[in-house]
């Protein structure tokens, strides 16, 4: 079984058009990473025909950058990907503040595409809103 047979091919996300005017498609690991990003970027309720689809990361936008919040984000990411992306096994999720940009958390996801023994890594940026006292 080839990688495209297992993982599949689909429209590129974000939507794109090739130079000859056809809809851009992706396959393989790139498709899986786009699907994972889509899960994490969608809030439950945004899709009328799949109201539970997505992750509740938006709930943490106004939370402080504390170890408790990091643990809650880790759990949400892990549970959401386990539910909505069956082609991968999430091995670890690590949330940490970005060294160079304030109010940015990096969500570092280590995962395996099922049927492979090749650990991969995806970093998903998560922006927070600063407290009003920070201005």
Kindly report the CATH number assigned to the domain that includes residue 33: 3.10.450.40
Whether 135 is in a domain gets the answer no
Asked if 100 and 91 count as a contact pair (C-beta separation under 8 A), the reply is no
Domain range spanning residue 119? 3-130
Q: Is residue 32 part of a domain?
A: yes
Confidence (pLDDT) at 106: 94
Counting the structural domains of the chain, the total is 1
* pLDDT one digit per residue (tens) for the chain, 135 residues: 455 555 677 777 777 888 888 888 888 888 899 999 999 999 999 999 999 999 999 999 988 888 999 999 999 999 999 999 999 999 999 999 988 888 899 999 999 998 888 899 999 999 887 666 544
The Cα-based distances of 121 to 50, 99, 124 in angstroms read 27, 19, 10
Residue among 79, 64, 66, 129 at smallest CA distance from 109: 79
Query: pTM value?
Result: 0.81
82 domain residue, yes or no: yes
pLDDT of residue 135: 44
Q: What is the pLDDT of residue 134?
A: 47
Phi-psi category of residue 21: left, alpha or beta, with phi > 0 → left and psi -120 to 50 → alpha: left
In a domain, 96, yes or no: yes
pLDDT value of position 131: 63
pLDDT of residue 132: 60
Does residue 81 fall inside a structural domain? yes
């Amino acid at each position: 079984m080839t990688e495209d047979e297992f993982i599949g091919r689909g429209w590129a996300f974000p939507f794109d058009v090739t130079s000859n005017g056809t809809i851009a498609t992706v396959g393989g690991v790139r498709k899986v990473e786009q699907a994972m990003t889509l899960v994490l970027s969608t809030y439950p309720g945004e899709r009328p025909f799949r109201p539970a689809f997505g992750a509740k990361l938006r709930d943490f936008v106004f939370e402080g950058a504390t170890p408790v919040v990091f643990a809650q984000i880790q759990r949400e990411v892990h549970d959401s990907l386990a539910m909505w992306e069956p082609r991968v096994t999430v091995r670890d999720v690590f949330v940490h503040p970005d060294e160079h940009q304030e109010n940015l958390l990096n969500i570092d996801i280590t995962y395996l595409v099922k049927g492979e023994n090749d650990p991969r890594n995806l970093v998903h940026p998560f922006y927070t809103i600063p407290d009003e006292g920070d201005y």
